[in-house]
Structure 1
Protein backbone atom coordinates (compact mmCIF):
# COMPACT_ATOMS: atom_id res chain seq x y z
CA UNK A 1 0.00 0.00 0.00
CA UNK A 2 1.31 3.41 -0.95
CA UNK A 3 2.19 5.96 1.69
CA UNK A 4 1.07 9.55 1.09
CA UNK A 5 3.07 12.30 2.76
CA UNK A 6 2.48 16.03 2.92
CA UNK A 7 5.70 18.02 2.99
CA UNK A 8 5.97 21.78 3.30
CA UNK A 9 8.80 23.14 1.20
CA UNK A 10 10.52 23.19 -2.14
CA UNK A 11 9.76 20.43 -4.65
CA UNK A 12 13.16 20.92 -6.33
CA UNK A 13 14.86 19.54 -3.21
CA UNK A 14 13.04 16.19 -3.22
CA UNK A 15 15.12 13.03 -3.63
CA UNK A 16 12.53 10.89 -5.40
CA UNK A 17 12.33 8.92 -8.61
CA UNK A 18 10.02 11.45 -10.28
CA UNK A 19 9.12 15.06 -9.61
CA UNK A 20 5.92 16.33 -11.21
CA UNK A 21 6.11 19.74 -12.83
CA UNK A 22 3.03 21.96 -13.03
CA UNK A 23 4.07 23.01 -16.52
CA UNK A 24 2.55 25.31 -19.06
CA UNK A 25 1.65 23.87 -22.44
CA UNK A 26 4.77 25.25 -24.13
CA UNK A 27 6.98 22.98 -21.96
CA UNK A 28 9.62 25.72 -22.15
CA UNK A 29 9.56 26.92 -18.56
CA UNK A 30 7.63 29.67 -16.87
CA UNK A 31 6.90 30.90 -13.38
CA UNK A 32 6.13 29.18 -10.09
CA UNK A 33 6.93 25.48 -9.83
CA UNK A 34 7.68 25.30 -13.55
CA UNK A 35 10.29 28.05 -13.41
CA UNK A 36 11.87 26.64 -10.25
CA UNK A 37 12.22 23.16 -11.78
CA UNK A 38 13.76 24.51 -14.97
CA UNK A 39 16.17 26.81 -13.09
CA UNK A 40 17.37 24.19 -10.63
CA UNK A 41 17.29 21.29 -13.07
CA UNK A 42 19.37 23.12 -15.65
CA UNK A 43 19.51 23.16 -19.44
CA UNK A 44 19.12 19.40 -19.88
CA UNK A 45 15.41 19.63 -19.01
CA UNK A 46 14.82 22.49 -21.43
CA UNK A 47 16.70 20.66 -24.19
CA UNK A 48 14.46 17.59 -23.85
CA UNK A 49 11.36 19.79 -23.69
CA UNK A 50 12.42 21.49 -26.92
CA UNK A 51 12.85 18.06 -28.52
CA UNK A 52 9.33 17.11 -27.41
CA UNK A 53 7.94 20.31 -28.93
CA UNK A 54 9.80 19.64 -32.17
CA UNK A 55 8.47 16.08 -32.39
CA UNK A 56 5.27 15.00 -30.63
CA UNK A 57 3.94 18.24 -29.13
CA UNK A 58 4.32 20.90 -31.82
CA UNK A 59 1.23 22.71 -30.54
CA UNK A 60 2.18 22.17 -26.89
CA UNK A 61 1.25 19.57 -24.30
CA UNK A 62 -2.54 19.39 -23.92
CA UNK A 63 -4.16 20.15 -20.56
CA UNK A 64 -4.47 17.05 -18.39
CA UNK A 65 -1.75 15.11 -20.22
CA UNK A 66 1.75 14.24 -18.96
CA UNK A 67 5.18 13.55 -20.44
CA UNK A 68 8.58 12.80 -18.89
CA UNK A 69 12.07 14.22 -19.33
CA UNK A 70 15.34 13.92 -17.52
CA UNK A 71 15.56 15.66 -14.16
CA UNK A 72 18.85 17.28 -15.07
CA UNK A 73 20.52 18.55 -11.90
CA UNK A 74 17.55 17.85 -9.63
CA UNK A 75 17.95 15.08 -7.00
CA UNK A 76 15.38 13.01 -8.92
CA UNK A 77 15.62 10.71 -11.94
CA UNK A 78 12.82 12.22 -14.02
CA UNK A 79 10.55 15.23 -14.30
CA UNK A 80 6.99 14.48 -15.33
CA UNK A 81 5.47 17.57 -16.92
CA UNK A 82 1.71 18.01 -16.76
CA UNK A 83 -0.45 20.97 -17.74
CA UNK A 84 -3.15 21.85 -15.27
CA UNK A 85 -6.32 23.68 -16.18
CA UNK A 86 -6.93 27.34 -15.42
CA UNK A 87 -9.74 27.54 -12.85
CA UNK A 88 -13.10 28.76 -14.11
CA UNK A 89 -16.16 29.75 -12.10
CA UNK A 90 -18.40 29.08 -15.11
CA UNK A 91 -16.98 25.76 -16.39
CA UNK A 92 -16.23 22.57 -14.45
CA UNK A 93 -12.64 21.63 -15.27
CA UNK A 94 -12.15 19.31 -12.31
CA UNK A 95 -11.87 16.30 -14.64
CA UNK A 96 -8.89 17.91 -16.34
CA UNK A 97 -7.23 18.55 -12.98
CA UNK A 98 -7.79 14.96 -11.84
CA UNK A 99 -6.38 13.81 -15.20
CA UNK A 100 -3.10 15.62 -14.43
CA UNK A 101 -2.59 13.38 -11.39
CA UNK A 102 -3.76 10.18 -13.14
CA UNK A 103 -1.66 10.78 -16.24
CA UNK A 104 1.41 11.71 -14.18
CA UNK A 105 1.09 8.45 -12.25
CA UNK A 106 0.61 6.53 -15.51
CA UNK A 107 3.86 8.00 -16.87
CA UNK A 108 5.62 7.33 -13.54
CA UNK A 109 4.45 3.71 -13.66
CA UNK A 110 5.76 3.32 -17.21
CA UNK A 111 9.13 4.70 -16.10
CA UNK A 112 9.32 2.32 -13.15
CA UNK A 113 9.21 5.14 -10.59
CA UNK A 114 8.46 4.03 -7.02
CA UNK A 115 8.49 7.48 -5.37
CA UNK A 116 6.76 10.54 -6.82
CA UNK A 117 6.56 14.16 -5.61
CA UNK A 118 3.63 16.33 -6.70
CA UNK A 119 3.05 20.06 -6.33
CA UNK A 120 -0.48 21.42 -5.83
CA UNK A 121 -1.25 21.60 -9.56
CA UNK A 122 -3.20 24.65 -10.82
CA UNK A 123 -3.49 26.25 -7.37
CA UNK A 124 -0.97 29.03 -8.06
CA UNK A 125 -1.25 31.44 -10.96
CA UNK A 126 -3.91 29.21 -12.59
CA UNK A 127 -6.21 30.24 -9.73
CA UNK A 128 -7.66 26.92 -8.59
CA UNK A 129 -9.00 27.26 -5.01
CA UNK A 130 -6.62 25.43 -2.67
CA UNK A 131 -9.29 23.52 -0.77
CA UNK A 132 -10.86 22.13 -3.94
CA UNK A 133 -7.47 21.49 -5.54
CA UNK A 134 -6.41 19.47 -2.49
CA UNK A 135 -9.64 17.45 -2.54
CA UNK A 136 -9.28 16.61 -6.24
CA UNK A 137 -5.56 15.81 -5.97
CA UNK A 138 -5.86 13.45 -3.03
CA UNK A 139 -8.96 11.71 -4.40
CA UNK A 140 -7.31 11.15 -7.80
CA UNK A 141 -4.09 9.80 -6.30
CA UNK A 142 -5.94 7.53 -3.89
CA UNK A 143 -8.10 6.12 -6.70
CA UNK A 144 -5.05 5.53 -8.91
CA UNK A 145 -3.00 3.81 -6.22
CA UNK A 146 -5.55 1.89 -4.14
CA UNK A 147 -5.22 -1.36 -6.10
CA UNK A 148 -1.69 -0.81 -7.32
CA UNK A 149 1.52 -1.75 -5.53
CA UNK A 150 3.74 0.09 -8.03
CA UNK A 151 4.40 3.05 -5.77
CA UNK A 152 6.02 3.10 -2.34
CA UNK A 153 5.51 6.78 -1.60
CA UNK A 154 3.62 9.73 -3.01
CA UNK A 155 4.61 13.14 -1.68
CA UNK A 156 2.68 16.34 -2.00
CA UNK A 157 5.29 19.07 -1.62
CA UNK A 158 3.39 22.17 -0.67
CA UNK A 159 4.58 25.73 -0.93
CA UNK A 160 3.20 27.83 1.91
CA UNK A 161 1.22 27.21 5.06
CA UNK A 162 -2.18 27.68 3.39
CA UNK A 163 -1.48 24.90 0.90
CA UNK A 164 -0.20 22.60 3.63
CA UNK A 165 -3.31 23.20 5.76
CA UNK A 166 -5.68 22.64 2.82
CA UNK A 167 -4.09 19.28 1.99
CA UNK A 168 -3.92 18.28 5.66
CA UNK A 169 -7.67 18.86 5.96
CA UNK A 170 -8.34 16.40 3.11
CA UNK A 171 -5.73 13.79 4.02
Structure 2
Protein backbone atom coordinates (compact mmCIF):
# COMPACT_ATOMS: atom_id res chain seq x y z
CA UNK A 1 0.00 0.00 0.00
CA UNK A 2 1.06 3.55 -0.76
CA UNK A 3 -0.41 6.36 1.34
CA UNK A 4 0.08 10.11 1.32
CA UNK A 5 -1.68 12.91 3.26
CA UNK A 6 -2.56 16.03 1.27
CA UNK A 7 -4.30 18.93 3.08
CA UNK A 8 -6.17 16.57 5.42
CA UNK A 9 -7.07 14.11 2.63
CA UNK A 10 -5.55 10.64 2.56
CA UNK A 11 -4.69 9.29 -0.89
CA UNK A 12 -4.13 5.53 -0.96
CA UNK A 13 -3.02 3.24 -3.75
CA UNK A 14 -3.45 -0.50 -3.28
CA UNK A 15 -3.46 -3.65 -5.33
CA UNK A 16 -6.81 -5.36 -4.98
CA UNK A 17 -10.39 -5.78 -6.13
CA UNK A 18 -12.60 -2.68 -6.45
CA UNK A 19 -15.72 -4.56 -5.29
CA UNK A 20 -14.02 -5.69 -2.08
CA UNK A 21 -13.50 -2.33 -0.35
CA UNK A 22 -16.01 -2.54 2.53
CA UNK A 23 -14.51 0.39 4.44
CA UNK A 24 -15.35 2.91 1.67
CA UNK A 25 -18.62 4.85 1.34
CA UNK A 26 -18.54 4.45 -2.42
CA UNK A 27 -16.69 2.97 -5.34
CA UNK A 28 -16.42 4.10 -8.94
CA UNK A 29 -17.49 1.83 -11.76
CA UNK A 30 -15.63 2.11 -15.08
CA UNK A 31 -18.96 1.86 -16.84
CA UNK A 32 -20.14 1.46 -20.41
CA UNK A 33 -22.43 4.07 -22.00
CA UNK A 34 -25.56 2.02 -21.32
CA UNK A 35 -24.60 1.44 -17.66
CA UNK A 36 -25.14 -2.31 -18.09
CA UNK A 37 -23.16 -5.35 -17.07
CA UNK A 38 -20.05 -5.64 -19.22
CA UNK A 39 -16.52 -6.91 -19.06
CA UNK A 40 -13.78 -5.84 -16.68
CA UNK A 41 -14.76 -3.48 -13.86
CA UNK A 42 -18.35 -2.99 -15.12
CA UNK A 43 -18.87 -6.75 -15.10
CA UNK A 44 -17.39 -7.19 -11.64
CA UNK A 45 -19.41 -4.31 -10.17
CA UNK A 46 -22.72 -5.45 -11.67
CA UNK A 47 -22.17 -9.08 -10.64
CA UNK A 48 -21.28 -8.13 -7.07
CA UNK A 49 -24.06 -5.53 -6.72
CA UNK A 50 -26.77 -7.80 -8.16
CA UNK A 51 -29.57 -7.39 -10.72
CA UNK A 52 -31.26 -4.47 -8.96
CA UNK A 53 -28.32 -2.29 -10.01
CA UNK A 54 -29.22 -2.73 -13.69
CA UNK A 55 -32.79 -1.69 -12.90
CA UNK A 56 -31.56 1.45 -11.15
CA UNK A 57 -29.12 2.42 -13.92
CA UNK A 58 -31.57 1.89 -16.82
CA UNK A 59 -33.21 5.36 -16.64
CA UNK A 60 -29.81 7.06 -16.16
CA UNK A 61 -28.36 5.78 -19.45
CA UNK A 62 -26.86 6.55 -21.82
CA UNK A 63 -23.98 8.65 -20.55
CA UNK A 64 -21.20 10.29 -22.56
CA UNK A 65 -17.42 9.96 -22.05
CA UNK A 66 -16.38 11.96 -18.99
CA UNK A 67 -19.87 11.96 -17.45
CA UNK A 68 -20.71 10.37 -14.10
CA UNK A 69 -23.92 9.32 -12.31
CA UNK A 70 -24.59 7.82 -8.87
CA UNK A 71 -26.63 4.84 -7.67
CA UNK A 72 -27.00 2.85 -4.50
CA UNK A 73 -24.54 0.08 -3.73
CA UNK A 74 -27.17 -2.70 -3.64
CA UNK A 75 -25.47 -5.97 -2.62
CA UNK A 76 -22.07 -4.32 -2.18
CA UNK A 77 -20.87 -3.29 1.26
CA UNK A 78 -20.53 0.25 -0.13
CA UNK A 79 -23.50 2.60 0.09
CA UNK A 80 -22.91 4.13 -3.35
CA UNK A 81 -21.58 3.39 -6.81
CA UNK A 82 -20.54 6.26 -9.04
CA UNK A 83 -20.59 5.20 -12.69
CA UNK A 84 -18.38 7.03 -15.17
CA UNK A 85 -17.69 6.43 -18.85
CA UNK A 86 -14.03 6.70 -19.73
CA UNK A 87 -12.79 7.57 -23.19
CA UNK A 88 -11.92 4.91 -25.74
CA UNK A 89 -8.27 5.60 -26.53
CA UNK A 90 -7.77 6.71 -30.12
CA UNK A 91 -11.50 7.32 -30.64
CA UNK A 92 -12.88 9.75 -28.04
CA UNK A 93 -11.08 13.10 -28.23
CA UNK A 94 -9.48 14.78 -26.40
CA UNK A 95 -8.71 11.64 -24.40
CA UNK A 96 -6.81 13.33 -21.60
CA UNK A 97 -9.54 15.90 -20.90
CA UNK A 98 -12.28 13.25 -20.99
CA UNK A 99 -10.35 10.95 -18.65
CA UNK A 100 -9.69 13.82 -16.24
CA UNK A 101 -13.40 14.67 -16.39
CA UNK A 102 -14.24 11.10 -15.28
CA UNK A 103 -12.31 11.60 -12.06
CA UNK A 104 -13.37 15.18 -11.40
CA UNK A 105 -17.06 14.54 -12.15
CA UNK A 106 -16.96 11.48 -9.89
CA UNK A 107 -15.40 13.57 -7.11
CA UNK A 108 -18.04 16.27 -7.59
CA UNK A 109 -20.83 13.69 -7.21
CA UNK A 110 -19.11 12.25 -4.13
CA UNK A 111 -18.90 15.74 -2.62
CA UNK A 112 -22.52 16.56 -3.55
CA UNK A 113 -23.58 13.38 -1.70
CA UNK A 114 -21.23 14.03 1.24
CA UNK A 115 -19.25 10.79 0.84
CA UNK A 116 -16.28 10.55 3.19
CA UNK A 117 -14.37 7.91 1.20
CA UNK A 118 -14.24 6.80 -2.44
CA UNK A 119 -12.42 4.06 -4.37
CA UNK A 120 -11.40 4.33 -8.03
CA UNK A 121 -10.25 1.71 -10.53
CA UNK A 122 -7.88 2.60 -13.39
CA UNK A 123 -10.56 4.01 -15.70
CA UNK A 124 -10.21 3.32 -19.46
CA UNK A 125 -7.02 1.25 -19.12
CA UNK A 126 -8.62 -2.13 -19.89
CA UNK A 127 -10.78 -2.76 -22.94
CA UNK A 128 -10.82 0.97 -23.78
CA UNK A 129 -7.06 0.79 -24.44
CA UNK A 130 -5.77 3.86 -22.60
CA UNK A 131 -2.02 3.39 -21.98
CA UNK A 132 -1.52 2.87 -18.24
CA UNK A 133 1.37 5.35 -17.87
CA UNK A 134 -0.53 8.17 -19.58
CA UNK A 135 -3.70 7.31 -17.65
CA UNK A 136 -1.87 7.41 -14.31
CA UNK A 137 -0.41 10.84 -15.06
CA UNK A 138 -3.76 12.29 -16.22
CA UNK A 139 -5.49 10.77 -13.20
CA UNK A 140 -3.13 12.16 -10.58
CA UNK A 141 -3.16 15.62 -12.19
CA UNK A 142 -6.99 15.60 -12.28
CA UNK A 143 -7.13 14.69 -8.58
CA UNK A 144 -4.56 17.36 -7.68
CA UNK A 145 -6.47 20.00 -9.68
CA UNK A 146 -9.69 19.15 -7.80
CA UNK A 147 -8.28 19.12 -4.24
CA UNK A 148 -9.34 22.68 -3.40
CA UNK A 149 -12.99 21.75 -4.09
CA UNK A 150 -13.01 18.83 -1.62
CA UNK A 151 -14.81 19.41 1.67
CA UNK A 152 -16.25 16.03 2.70
CA UNK A 153 -13.97 13.37 1.26
CA UNK A 154 -11.27 12.31 3.68
CA UNK A 155 -9.99 9.33 1.70
CA UNK A 156 -9.49 8.59 -1.98
CA UNK A 157 -8.28 5.09 -2.76
CA UNK A 158 -7.03 3.78 -6.08
CA UNK A 159 -7.57 0.04 -6.35
CA UNK A 160 -5.34 -1.45 -9.02
CA UNK A 161 -5.87 -4.97 -10.23
CA UNK A 162 -2.23 -5.99 -10.76
CA UNK A 163 1.18 -5.16 -9.31
CA UNK A 164 2.57 -3.39 -12.38
CA UNK A 165 -0.42 -1.00 -12.48
CA UNK A 166 0.00 -0.39 -8.74
CA UNK A 167 3.67 0.54 -9.25
CA UNK A 168 2.86 2.91 -12.12
CA UNK A 169 0.12 4.73 -10.18
CA UNK A 170 2.33 4.91 -7.08
CA UNK A 171 5.19 6.41 -9.12
CA UNK A 172 2.93 9.11 -10.59
CA UNK A 173 1.44 9.89 -7.19
CA UNK A 174 4.96 10.37 -5.80
CA UNK A 175 5.85 12.71 -8.69
CA UNK A 176 2.67 14.79 -8.61
CA UNK A 177 2.04 14.97 -4.86
Q: Which residue of 2 aligns with 1:45?
A: 53
1:165 and 1:116 map into 2 onto residues whose CA distance is: 20
Unmatched 5+ residue regions in structure 1?
A: 54-59
Unaligned runs of 5+ in 2: 1-7
* Cα distance in 2 between the residues matched to 1:90 and 1:50: 23
What is aligned with 1:69?
71
Task: Please tell me the root mean square deviation across aligned C-alpha atoms, in Å.
Answer: 1.5
Matched residue, 1:56: none
2:21 is aligned with 1:5: no
2:156 to 129, 154, 157: 154
User: How many equivalent pairs are there?
Assistant: 165
Q: Could you say which structure has the greater relative contact order, defined with CA pairs below 8 angstroms and 6 or more residues apart?
A: 1
Match of 1:36 in 2: 44
| DSSP 3-state at the match of 1:13 | coil
Structure 1 stretch 112-121 or stretch 44-53: which is displaced more?
A: 44-53
The whole-number CA distance in structure 2 between the counterparts of 1:98 and 1:17 is 22
Counterpart for residue 57 of structure 1: none
Deviations 1:81-130 (A, max 9, x none): 00000111895410000000000001111111010000000001101010
Q: Show the counterpart of 1:137.
A: 139
CA offsets 1:33-75 (integer angstroms, 9 cap, x no match): 000000001112111011323xxxxxx1111000001111111
> TM-score, structure 2 length as denominator?
0.89
